[in-house]
Every structure is written in C-alpha cells, then in structure tokens.
Amino acid sequence: MIISVASGKGGTGKTTVSCGIALSMGYCQFFDFDVEAPNALFLLKPEIRHIQKVTVKHPVFLNGTGASFKDCAEFCHYNALAVVGTEVIFFPELCHGCGGCILVGPEGAVREKDIAIGEIKKGAASPGIDFFMGDLKPGNTRTTNIQNELEHYIDKDRLVIIDCPPGTSCSMVNAVRKSHYCILVTEPTPFGFNDLLLSEEVVNSLDIPFGVIINRDGIGNNDVENYCRQSKIDVLAKIPNDKGIAKFYSRGEPITDFDSGFKEIFSNIILEIKIKNQ
C-alpha cells in the first residue's frame, strides 16, 4: 500500500510524520520525493549503497550547415528554441527533453546528448527500511524526471511511505498521484488552514482518499479541526506543540526518539488507514 505524506504549507511536519511512520512500522519502503530539498535522510540516517545519475536528453544543433531549424522551433512546445536565419539559439532551462526537435529537424543536423540533472540514492535504514531519495542538482528544474526514476523502485505490494515536497505544484502532484492514501499534515493556523484547503483540492481531483494530521496543536485555533469535523475528514492525530520535538528535529533525532509513545500512535494510524482503505 502506497501512503503519501503531503501538506499545502511547508514546514508543517511532513518529514517528522513520514519518518515517524517508517520508524514505527519498520520493514517498509521509504521514498523522499522532495528532490529539491531532501531531508528525510537526516532523521532516518540511511547507509547509502547505490548512487545513480539521472540524465535528460538535450539537443545539439549543428549551426553553420545552412540547414533550417524552423521546423524544430515551431515544434518546440516549450519555446526553448529561437531561430535567427539559419542559426538556432537553444535555451536549456526551458527544454523538457521530449526529443521532438531531434525527430523533426533536418537529417543529421540535430544530435542529442545526455545532461546530468541529479541523482537518485538507494540505501537502507534501521529497522528494515529500504530507503530511496532523489537529489536534483541546484539550478535544475526537472524535479519530475528524478521522481519518475524513483518511481521505478516502488513495490506497491509492500508498505510504501512517500515523503512529498511542500505546496501543490507539479512536484507535489507527481509525488502524490500514485498513492493509495494521502496524509495531509497541517498546523492549526490561518496559513495552515488555507493551504490545507489547496492540498485537499489536489487529492480530491486525483480521487485519493486522505486524512489530516494536525501538528503543533495549540499554536493557533480550532478552525482546522472544526472544518475537518464538518467536512467529515478524518483527523488521524493531533501532535501537540512541543519545543522538545523541535529540539530533537534540529539535531536530526526523530519524534519516535523524543517519545517512543509515538510508535504506537503512528502504527495505529497505519492500521486504521489499511482497514478503511483496502
């Protein structure tokens, strides 16, 4: 079963929760899909056993041959090509690596080359966690390419935990869309509430059942909880605001080390999710 952990607002506690779940259950697959700023490794402390480069294909134009690249520029959906006479200017930041210009371009005048955009790392963390993460090279924008490489390793017959990037843009949608259930982590503040509604919209449009964990309970008001009750959204847990948890986190120590009682809380949440969604 694939369970994603997402949030609208950043910093609400996704990684705290996703790692807490993994450490409580053990013997699962854990994927850090926040490839722009992966942080689960600091809490799970995996031994990395395999690093794999992720590449995308970029075109190489043989300018100066007199060949016309007009077709390529017209074809490019992403405006990555500008034709000046018979020369073409290529904007790598806009290229999506679709390979279309290579297909439609004049024979032999457009080649392709592999550009490394980042890596995926595979390893193991205790207890029995198969750990996978992506790492996008700074300056690159192709988060989904790295996420899609990671996706190959998902074994949906096992318990799979996916730590998602914050927000509701492409990379979050891509991280969430294959999951069977999504845990939305929020905080009980106006921003937390607003961004919870945005992320709810995403999971609803993807038809993914979800529940909410309210983290740092006590710092705001009851609006989130009231909303969930009215909308019949499961509030899976309320984690109290505690400086101790934050201190542990800042030292790379997971919430289950702060208080081993969380192991039972997270295990029960997973049990509840499995019962209601199988």
Closer CB to another protein, residue 85 or residue 138? Answer: 138
96 forms part of the interface with another protein (CB under 8 A): no
Query: Out of 10, 27, 49, 94, which residue is the one contacting another protein (CB under 8 A)?
Result: 49
Query: Out of 53, 77, 156, 229, which residue is the one contacting another protein (CB under 8 A)?
Result: 53
Query: Out of 8, 13, 46, 192, which residue is the one contacting another protein (CB under 8 A)?
Result: 46
Closer CB to another protein, residue 79 or residue 148? Answer: 148
Query: Out of 52, 194, 260, 268, which residue is the one contacting another protein (CB under 8 A)?
Result: 52
CA dist., res. 77 & res. 73, Å (int): 8
Closer CB to another protein, residue 50 or residue 232? Answer: 50
119 forms part of the interface with another protein (CB under 8 A): yes
CA dist., res. 77 & res. 98, Å (int): 10
Question: If binding means CB under 8 A, how many residues of this protein chain bind another protein?
Answer: 21
Closer CB to another protein, residue 148 or residue 221? Answer: 148
CA dist., res. 5 & res. 11, Å (int): 13
103 forms part of the interface with another protein (CB under 8 A): no
CA dist., res. 26 & res. 59, Å (int): 44
Query: Out of 28, 54, 72, 196, which residue is the one contacting another protein (CB under 8 A)?
Result: 54
Query: Out of 10, 27, 37, 48, which residue is the one contacting another protein (CB under 8 A)?
Result: 48
For residue 254, give the nearest of 9, 31, 18 by alpha carbon. Answer: 18
Query: Out of 1, 83, 124, 154, which residue is the one contacting another protein (CB under 8 A)?
Result: 124
Helical spans, DSSP H, in the chain: 14-25, 40-44, 70-75, 100-104, 143-151, 170-176, 190-205, 223-230, 243-250, 255-258, 261-277
Q: Which one-letter amino acid corresponds to residue 253? A: E
Query: Out of 123, 134, 165, 192, which residue is the one contacting another protein (CB under 8 A)?
Result: 123
Residue 273 main-chain phi, psi, to 5 deg: -60, -45
Closer CB to another protein, residue 45 or residue 263? Answer: 45
CA dist., res. 250 & res. 243, Å (int): 10
Q: State in angstroms the smallest separation of the CB of 42 from another protein.
A: 8
Token readout for 38 is 């992966």
Q: Distance of CA 175 to CAs 107, 169, 170, 202, 257, Å?
A: 38, 10, 9, 12, 27
68-76, 88-96, 113-121, 260-268 -> range binding another protein (CB under 8 A): 113-121
Mark 55-84 with x for binding to another protein (rule: CB under 8 A) and - for no binding: x-x---------------------------
CA dist., res. 180 & res. 4, Å (int): 8
Residues of the shown chain interacting with another protein in the complex, contacts defined by CB under 8 A = 41, 45-55, 57, 112-116, 119, 123-124
